[in-house]
Amino acid sequence: MTTNTSNPRIAIVTGGSRGLGKSTALNLAKKGVDVILTYKAQAAHAEAVVAEIVAMGQKAVALPLDVAQSSSFAAFAEQVRAALQSHFGTTHFDVLVNNAGSGLYVSLTEATEAQFDEMVNVHFKSTFFVTQKLLPLLRDGGRIVNISSGLTRFAFPGYGVYASMKGAVETLTKYMAKELGARGIAVNVVAPGAIATDFNGGAVRDNAQVNAMLSAQTALGRVGEAEDIGPMVASLVSEDNRWVNGQRIEVSGGMLL
């Protein structure tokens, strides 16, 4: 097993220009980790996150990636390879956070095949094949975190398609942990509860009735913020949690206990 002890660790965070991904990228940087973050369309937002990370004294670069387009993943891996050499002076990275995604609120009776396929591509297929394409560049002893949802444990009507994909990600995580264990790579899944971001149209953040309802069902009495999740992910991939592997960790403030 090879380890990276002489240089800062490097993390890739998909969807790192906003929300949970942005919080994760910034909190990794606070812990001395360099970051490659991806964005779909908001290049300016991504570059602003890069600037924040650089201001902390860490290196960072933003790369475009549409996780719905699996045909682009091989080219993305080559972009990562080039960025590792040009920006970080190395050939491998240490941490992969599969975070990028989008929401869908539609009943099972009204969901279209196109909506279903989009959720498969964005959440399940991307987690599988982005990881597969990047594995040759992931250092032995590295860490992978897949982002799921509290909706795999509790059910709200309208989220069946989205939550089913996250359930698949949770099962995949166990198999990743099993198959990559020989390389010393630990793989875990983090399942946030309701978070007040612009995810899914900002419903949790902007709809006072929804916010109040979810807060009332959470033991800690409020909905989550992005900053409740990013520090936890950054901690999970640290050496302090090296023996945590193949686990689903819910970060929900105690929703629906």
Residue 133 is assigned to a structural domain of this protein: yes
Instruction: Quote the pTM value.
Output: 0.95
Angle of helix 126-134 relative to helix 73-88, nearest 10 degrees, comes to 50
**Contact 218/253 with Cβ under 8 angstroms?**
yes
Examine residue 4 and state whether it is found in any structural domain, yes or no. Answer: no
The pLDDT confidence band at residue 2, using thresholds 50, 70 and 90, is very low
Q: Taking 90 as the threshold, does the pLDDT of residue 124 lie above it?
A: yes
Give the mean pLDDT of 19-36.
97
Residue at 52 is within a domain: yes
Evaluate whether residue 2 is within a structural domain: no
pLDDT at res. 6: 53
- The overall average pLDDT reported for the chain is 94
User: CA torsion 196→202→207→209, rounded to 10°?
Assistant: -60
DSSP-derived secondary structure letter, 246: S
Q: Beta-carbon neighbour count of residue 120 at 10 Å?
A: 16
| Residue pLDDT, tens place only, 128-154 | 999 999 999 999 999 999 999 999 999
pLDDT score, position 157: 95
Tokens of 239: 């050496």
Residue 86 lies inside a defined structural domain of this protein: yes
- pLDDT tens for 199-210 read 666 667 777 888
Give the model confidence (pLDDT) of 100-110 as tens digits. 999 999 999 99
Residue where the block lists tokens 């779909």 = 40
| 3-state per-residue secondary structure call for 91-122 | CCEEEEEECCCCCCCCCCCCCCHHHHHHHHHH
The pLDDT assigned to 114 comes to: 98
Give residue 242's pLDDT.
97
- pLDDT tens-digit profile of 211-232? 888 999 999 999 999 999 999 9
Token pair, residue 49, equals 């996150």
Tell me the CATH number at 123.
3.40.50.720
Catalytic residue among 39, 105, 162, 175: 162
- Count of domains observed in the chain: 1
- The answer to whether residue 3 is domain-embedded is no
Q: Compute the distance between CA of residue 186 and CA of residue 148 in angstroms, rounded to an integer.
A: 16
Q: Is residue 257 part of a domain?
A: no
Residue 163 resides in a domain: yes
Q: Which domain holds residue 81?
A: 10-251
Query: Averaged over 117-123, what is the pLDDT?
Result: 98
Q: Is 246 left (phi over 0), alpha (psi -120 to 50) or beta?
A: left
39 is known as an active-site residue: no
Q: How do residues 75-101 score in pLDDT, each as one tens digit?
A: 999 999 999 999 999 999 999 999 999
Comparing 1 with 146, the larger pLDDT belongs to: 146
pLDDT digits over 30-57, tens only?
999 999 999 999 999 999 999 999 999 9
What would the mean pLDDT of 233-237 be, rounded to a whole number?
98
For the residues of 209-233, what is the DSSP string, one character each?
HHHHHHHHTBTTSS-B-HHHHHHHH
Residue type present at position 51: A
**Between the CA of residue 55 and those of 42, 62, 153, 210, what are the distances in Å?**
20, 15, 39, 37
For a pLDDT cut of 70, what percent of the chain falls above it?
Answer: 95
Looking at residue 169, its amino acid is: V
The model's confidence at residue 196, banded by pLDDT at 50, 70 and 90, is confident
